[in-house]
């Protein structure tokens, strides 16, 4: 059975790249272009992992993650933040989100899917 990954990113190039890399590795990929869509889809499809940009047009990724952590349906889903724009203080905010991790951009296309897989139990 394929692992499901929800990718939340407003940059269409990043979304396509991450989707392609994950699909090549055998994932089923669901896409969202903003945090609210991502939160809604996470509750509906219950992915094995959520890959989320930090800077989204409607809210910050860590705010969306806090919302996901409050729901019994999405509370345990691993969240991997993927961004190039996190300062040290912002990184502490992300690290405070339970069951989460961080991958910096630019991503390593050779290891991205394996890096994501490590977050899935």
Tell me the residue length of the chain: 121
From CA 63, how far away is CA 12, in angstroms rounded? 21
Q: Which CATH number is associated with domain 4-117?
A: 3.40.50.2300
How many Å apart are CA 43 and CA 12, to the nearest integer? 23
Q: What is the pLDDT of residues 70-118, one digit of tens each?
A: 999 999 999 999 987 666 666 667 677 888 888 988 999 999 999 999 9
Write out the DSSP string of the chain.
-PPEEEEE-S-HHHHHHHHHHHHHTT-EEEEESSHHHHHHHHHHH--SEEEE-SB-SSSBHHHHHHHHHHSTTTTTS-EEEEES---HHHHHHHHTSTTEEEEESSP-TTTHHHHHHTT--
For residue 55, what are the β-bridge partners? 60
Q: What is the pLDDT of residue 85?
A: 65
**What predicted TM-score, i.e. pTM, was given to this entire model?**
0.93
Q: What is the pLDDT of residue 90?
A: 64
Q: Which residue is it, tokens 């809604």?
A: 40
């Amino acid at each position: 059975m394929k692992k499901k990954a929800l990718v939340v990113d407003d940059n269409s190039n990043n979304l396509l790249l991450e989707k392609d890399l994950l699909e090549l590795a055998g994932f089923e990929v669901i896409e969202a272009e903003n945090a609210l869509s991502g939160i809604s889809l996470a509750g509906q499809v219950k992915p094995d992992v959520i890959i989320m940009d930090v800077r989204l047009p409607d809210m910050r990724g860590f705010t969306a993650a806090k919302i996901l952590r409050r729901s019994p349906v999405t509370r345990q889903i691993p969240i991997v933040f993927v961004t190039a724009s996190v300062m040290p203080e912002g990184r502490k905010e992300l690290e405070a989100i339970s069951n989460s991790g961080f991958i910096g951009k630019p991503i390593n296309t050779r290891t991205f899917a394996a890096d994501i897989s490590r977050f899935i139990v």
